Structure 1
Amino acid sequence: MPNVKPLTLALATSLAIGLVVPDADAQRKKAAESKAPAAPTQCSDFYAFANQEWLQSNAPDPATGRRSALGELQARARSQQRELLDAMMRAPQSNIQTLLGDFWASGLDEAAVERDGANPIAPLLDRINGIRRSKEVPAAIAALHQVGIPVAFGFNADVDLSDLEGHIGYFSQGGMGLPDPAYYTRTDADTVALRTRYTEYVQQILTLTGTPQDKLAAEAQQVIDLETRIAQESRPISALRDPLQNYALVATADLGKTYRHLQLAEFLQAQGVSQPSVSMANPQLFSRLDALVDTLKPDQWKTYLRFHVGDAMAPYLSKSFRDAEFQFRGRVLRGEQSQPDRSTLVLHAINRAAGPMLAREYVGRYLPALNRDRAERIAGEVRDALVRSLDANTWMGDAARAEAKAKVAALKIEVGAPVRDLDYTVQPVGRGSFGANMLIASTWHHREEMRRIGRENASLRWDVLPQEPALAYDIAQNRLIVSAAAVQPPLLDMTRDAAAHYGAFGALVGHELSHAVDIKGRVVDASGKVRTWWSPQEDAAWQSRGNQLAAQYSGYEVPGAPELKVNGLQTREENAADLAGVELAWKALTHGKPDLSDDGSKAFFEAWAELWREQRTTEVATRDNAVSAHAPGKWRTNGVLENLPAFGETYKCKKVNAMQRPEGDQVAIWR
């Protein structure tokens, strides 16, 4: 219940006492109307019941419009990182700690950052400004990619879908300042207004990177024009979600001839890539870019490149750059109300450019062996529960069940941090220039990413940082990844009842492990081959359960925006994974403790509810409802528990209670 409610009710009562009402029935009616709503119970609204004190004591963060238990975990992890960097800054114990401590110190020295102005990017701008002919443009594009500023297109290392242990290079779409190609072509009023704001932002960055006032409007239009041309050949965001649609091997030996003006052969050489093939799933885009290099005047390319250097580096430069970037990307695109404080900004920069360096230090200090062992044990038990569930499963056929069991048997669990093969010989950064340090670290990071290409070492690497809270199922490597930062409260609170560990951490493990054999995991088999191993019968059975959940969740109001309903179709797969996760965690707990006490059962369910407590402004709730794959926290709690007979039995809920769906309407994934 929000803080304002008790005050409102108290005021209503005071006014009622002051009124003289001659009719006794009317007086009783008014008294009844002024009563507080019934307090939530375990069987009417378990989320509100379990989180009542927290909900009353916490309001959304004014800066972000939200506050949540998982947000508090992330804040704790970042506080730990700050403490670690502070210690490195004061008294480093190794070369790596010296590098990180100097990086941290340079970022915190805001006065030095202001004095530095645009100096860190001056060498990049000088190179761009020195372009005279079209054939010099591709070399500038390649040089910016080398320092971690991808322009014109994307090029990155990722898993080879024909060999999931290997990495290849992927040419992909990019080079646009707006997050969706559709923003450049749609004509509705909101999109037109967004483009107007973006044009204003382009002008601000161009001013800061050297465009005189009398040329500002024309040069900003040059940037928008070039990005629009790129957007016209780019695929919709929805088409980028299927990895198979974005995988098409081409011979690198042919790239120089096919894209002569874009000089892609020279581009790969500059990135240190010499493998015989790369992926290029949208050759039409690169044909258009090749033509644009040849046909557009070099001055338009120079303006475009100069803007993107300023845009990419704006958060790490002086206040004029930071303010311009935040007003558009922070306020308009992300809906943030205020800029992050200095330490948060610098920490984000270090994690982005040198995160793997910080990871090793974080794990050494903040991952107790006891927590790691407990996490590994629970994860193993939940995996075993999934095996037993597959044995008892009724919606999978024999072939699919056998494949699923083989896949789960081969599944790996990795807790804390990966075995890394990174080269830590990064150039010393010093404490002189934060912006220059960012470019040094970003160049190092890009070099290491390029070195992944051609290597058979995908199983040694993670795509998440150990110092950031994360549980993830890696479909390519068939493994569960649990970061060091996730093995602490509220996910794994060693001071709580052991059953609570299963209700929080264990349920999240189950959520992720379920993806190994659900509609997402069906595209990679137990041997690591990319193929669909479900039959149409399994697909139909899954769709039936998913559609039942979609209908259930579509009936829920959005907390904070009650005029809206949850988008049950949009959140369907994650709702199914939530349900699967709690089912598996409950099985793991009760298998190990068949005589589980009532207190233990309650601790399990309370831990699940506490995991999803959150407060959001109406604006944030509305925006989340439009784009998020997850339901609001209230329904991630209640929506799952309404389908579990064990919950109703624990709290003696009746079949007519809100927290217990009729048996015929309950959805089951693994029970």
Structure 2
Amino acid sequence: MPHSRPAPLKLALLSLAVLAAFAAADADAAKKKSTKSKKAAAPAVTACGDFYTYANKSWLDGHVALPEQTAVTALGELSARAQTQQRELLDAAMNAPQNEVQTLLGNFWASGLDEAAVEADGAQPIAGLLGRINAIKKAGDIAPTIAALHQVGIPVAFNFNADIDLRDLERHIGYLMQGGLGLPDPAYYTRTDAETRELLGRYRAYVRQILALTGTPKEKLDAESATVIDLETRLAQVSTPLLQLRDFRAAYAPVATKDLGKQYRNLQLDAFLKAQGIKDDTISLPNPAYVRQLDALVKSLKPDQWKAYLRWRVGDTMAPYLAKSFRDAEFEFRGRVLRGQVAPSPRWQQVLDAINLAAGPMLGKEYAARYLPAANKAQAEAIAKAVRDALDASLDRNTWLAPATRDEAKKKLAKLKIEIGTPRRDLDYSVQPMGRNSFGSNLLIASTWHHREEMKRIGKGNADRRWDVLPQQPALAYDLAQNRLIVTAAVLQAPVFDAAGDVSAQYGGFGALVGHELSRGFDNKGRMVDSKGDLRDWWTPADVSAWSSISSKLASQYDGYAWPMLKDVKVNGRQTADENMADLAGVELASAAFSAMQPGPIAVQQKAFYEGWAHLWAQSLSPADATLRASTSPYAPGQWRANGPLVNQPDFADAFTCKAGNAMQRKEDEQVKIWR
């Protein structure tokens, strides 16, 4: 469970807008000091000159990115607020739980915060697992031990995840993928350059530390760490390069499960699937060479080599949740060397991350009950449906899609599901009781539960069982495979959805983000899944050409924008094209939905609508962070995420009486439009 990797298709078939994921943030950003100056005051910023700065003046005046903070953003503050709420919920569950799930969470939280108890517990939480490994006597004992470790959420030798069946998007199948390596890239084991060799040497030293902590005698540490590296190198040699794994179709290779036990006798894959509770007749096995090598190694390597490897994998996986000796060793290599971290996160953050990793849906269930009032959920659903209806109306008058394509799009939109707050289908929260004396043991209890629930996704009719984002994480997402809009409980707060604010701003903020996500079902990627949920391209070549023409025109617009904080650097319109198109679509659709809801144009409310949009993107970046984003980020900077779509909106010009030729209003023949 810890160090878990994303399932192979998740990133390909889920358009996920985790709103703070692309900007580090600090809700307690330092305030700029006001100083007197003899310099002439800068000209007042106007709505028609730079709407982003005009709408966000108060926020920008009060926030600055400190040297240790690469970015301060409005959406980052929302993310920080959601974390504070989670801490408050866990504190309440620890002190006065109201139900069984809260009791579990409260005990989990308390056990993690009690560092003295964690230290006293030492390696005791994994003693049973190590005992199971040390009891291995022969080759036939290895496969059952691998299966048992997977059951508690510790994937050894390979990864096994539930994910979408590309032949039937209404169900999940199991994906048996390469894995079992302690380094993130198989190439680290086989490259011969000096830098990689130096990294491998530091890695071996870390393996040695963990083996010592899990019981290897001092005189055997060199030999056992060498055997671990040897086994992992053999697996790396038959692993698919990471670059090739980016193609999600390469991960899909369905095979019948009935013959796996005979094909891979040493791995006992039939018994493995049974141990995980899998009864399906198919799994995906994209790298048979890897599995054949693994099967052969179970028989050809001495059991002692496997025992060293398995003890290492257990110790490494569980190190962040055990005594300080484990945590320090793990941080020095994984934190400092691999992730470039200067210091570990504060203890509360480490414990919260562990709970979200192993028991995230439990916390999400309680989070939504505590922080999402029914009235807010109903209002958010009403806005989402209004934006959906605006897209339906737009399809009726669309001119750049072929008639047959428009018909298919309307059929797909009619089947759209909207899920707000938490998933529609709940989980089974029956879990072994947790105490307050062993954080590591609680982690394993929660991880076992999580694995059990993940395995239940496999089979027909289970594709919509879970979200791939947690309710306590601020996010909107369009799930392409399931044709559903996902709105988490945590995102329904300011600046996205201010329940106490004007409905106009709710449409401008939340409504536009809904439009952003819904457009994903009908863009150049959404065209790959049709109204029946089949994976096929339902656009004509002319539709593709029309889309490309619109995208290129918008890219040229963004190419002309300067990157704030950077000298002589422009926004890369093609690098940011997909997000810019979705932003424009979102504003168009939300504006149409707002106009349909509001009888007659009222300038005050229209202004609030556009201010709601601009408030989403307030940000203060350090030059270093801006430089990194300019070269790698798929998002334009906040100023242009706010302004870029609005210069193409006649209604914006009407609301603020901007004239053609103003910075915030393009001439009519230059305006880019998708759905208006």
Q: TM-score by structure 2 length? A: 0.87
Q: Do 1:249 and 1:278's aligned partners in 2 also have CA atoms closer than 8 Å?
A: yes
Partner of 2:519: 514
Question: Quick one: which amino acid aligns to residue 511 of structure 1?
Answer: H
Q: CA deviation at 1:443?
A: 0.7
With over 3 angstroms needed to count, the CA separation of the structure-2 counterparts of 1:239 and 1:664, relative to structure 1, is farther
What is the correspondence of 1:555-634 to structure 2 with a 5 Å cutoff? 555-560=560-565, 562=567, 565-625=570-630, 627-634=632-639
Sequence identity (%):
60
The Cα shift of 1:426 comes to 0.5
CA distance in 1, matches of 2:210, 2:46: 55
> Which of 529, 538, 541 lines up with 2:543 in the alignment?
538
Letter in 2 for 1:501: Q
Query: Which residue number corresponds to residue 413 of structure 1?
Result: 418
Aligned twin of 1:98: 103
1:453 to 417, 439, 458: 458
Match of 2:290 in 1: 285
Instruction: State the alpha-carbon separation in 2 of the partners of residues 306 and 125 from structure 1.
Output: 6
Superposed displacement of residue 363, structure 1: 2.1
For 1:483 and 1:408, locate their aligned partners in 2 and report how far apart those are by CA, in whole Å: 21
Cα displacement string for residues 423-458 of structure 1 (whole angstroms, at most 9, x for unaligned residues): 222000111101001001101111121122224132
Distance 2:238 2:428 in 1: 37
- Structure 2 counterparts to residues 195-234 of structure 1, below 5 A: 198-199=203-204, 201-211=206-216, 219-220=224-225, 222-234=227-239
Cα distance in structure 1, aligned partners of 2:191 and 2:235: 15
Residues 68 and 612 in structure 1, CA contact (< 8 A), matched pair in contact too: yes
Alpha-carbon deviation of 1:471?
1.2
Distance apart, 1:126 and its partner CA: 3.0
CA offset at residue 290 of structure 1?
Answer: 2.4
Amino acid at match of 2:122: G
2:260 pairs with one of 255, 258, 279:
255
In structure 1, what is the equivalent of residue 671 of structure 2?
666
Offset from partner CA, 1:68-121 (integer Å, 9 cap, x none): 222221222222222222222222222222222211211111111111122212
Aligned with 1:388 (options 389, 393, 415): 393
Distance of 1:648 and 1:409 partners within structure 2: 33
In structure 1, which of residues 356, 375, 381 is the aligned counterpart of residue 380 of structure 2? 375
Q: How many residues get paired? A: 648
Q: Distance in 2 between matches of 1:624 and 1:202?
A: 35
Taking the aligned partners of 1:540 and 1:166, their CA distance within structure 2 comes to: 33
Counterpart of 1:650 in 2: which secondary structure? helix
Q: Match for residue 265 of structure 1?
A: 270
Please report how far the alpha carbon of residue 37 of structure 1 lies from its aligned counterpart in structure 2 after TM superposition: 6.0
Q: Which position in structure 2 is the counterpart of 1:27?
A: none
Moved more, 195-204 or 247-256: 195-204
Stretch of structure 1 that moved more, 606-615 or 131-140? 131-140
Shift of 1:125: 2.5
Equivalent position SS for 2:170: strand
Structure 2: how far apart are the matches of 1:299 and 1:568?
56
1:59 corresponding residue in structure 2? 64
Give matches, 1:3-82, under 5 Å: 10=37, 40-60=45-65, 65-82=70-87
Q: CA deviation at 1:669?
A: 1.7
Alignment deviations for residues 405-435 of structure 1 (CA, whole Å, 9 cap, x no partner): 1111111111122233422220001111010
Matched, 1:464 2:469: yes
Q: CA deviation at 1:331?
A: 4.5
Q: Is the 8 A contact 1:181 1:232 kept in 2?
A: yes
Distance 1:211 1:557 in 2: 58
Question: Which of residues 70, 84, 89 in structure 2 aligns to 1:84?
Answer: 89
Aligned-residue Cα RMSD (Å) equals 3.0
1:638 to 637, 640, 643: 643
Query: In 2, are the aligned partners of 1:407 and 1:526 still within 8 Å (CA)?
Result: yes
Match of 1:497 in 2: 502
Q: Paired residue for 2:180, among 175, 179, 193?
A: 175
Asked if residue 313 in structure 1 is aligned to residue 331 in structure 2, the reply is no
| Distance in 2 of aligned mates of 1:230 and 1:37 | 63
- Structure 1 distance, partners of 2:209, 2:621, is 32
Deviation at 1:401, TM superposition (A): 0.6
Of residues 283-292 and 406-415 in structure 1, the stretch that sits farther from structure 2 once superposed is 283-292
Q: Does 1:441 align with 2:435?
A: no
Preserved CA contact (<8 Å) 1:202 1:307: yes
Displacement, 1:333?
Answer: 4.6
C-alpha distance in 2 between matches for 1:624 and 1:542: 26
- Between the aligned partners of 1:593 and 1:553, the Cα distance in structure 2 is 31
Q: Hey, what's the Cα distance between the residues in 2 that align with 1:262 and 1:205? A: 26
Q: 1:63·1:337 contact (CA, 8 Å) conserved in 2?
A: no
Classify 1:114/1:509 alpha carbon distance in 2 versus 1 (closer, same or farther; 3 Å). same
Query: Residue type of the partner of 1:547?
Result: S
> What per-residue deviation string (whole Å, max 9, x for no partner) do you get for residues 445-503 of structure 1?
11121122224132343222222222111122211111122222221102222111011
1:274 equivalenced with 2:302 (yes/no): no
> If each structure's helix is expressed as a fraction of its own residues, which one has the higher value?
1
* Distance of aligned partners of 1:435 and 1:428 in 2 relative to their CA distance in 1, 3 Å threshold: same
1:159 correspondence with 2:196: no
Q: Which residue of 1 aligns with 2:17?
A: none
Counterparts of 2:409 and 2:422, CA distance in 1: 27
The 1:101/1:332 distance shift into structure 2, 3 A limit, reads same
Q: Is the 8 A contact 1:65 1:336 kept in 2?
A: no
CA distance in 1, matches of 2:192, 2:569: 26
Q: Secondary structure at the match of 1:458?
A: coil
CA distance in 2, matches of 1:562, 1:587: 38
**Contact residue 32 and residue 63 of structure 2 kept, 8 A:** no
Paired letter, 1:67: V
> Which range is displaced more, 337-346 or 393-402?
337-346
State the shift of 1:610 in Å: 1.4
Structure 2 Cα separation of the partners of residues 605 and 65 of structure 1: 27
Q: Which runs of 5+ in 1 are unaligned?
A: 14-33
Partner residue of 2:126? 121
SS in 1 for 2:171: strand
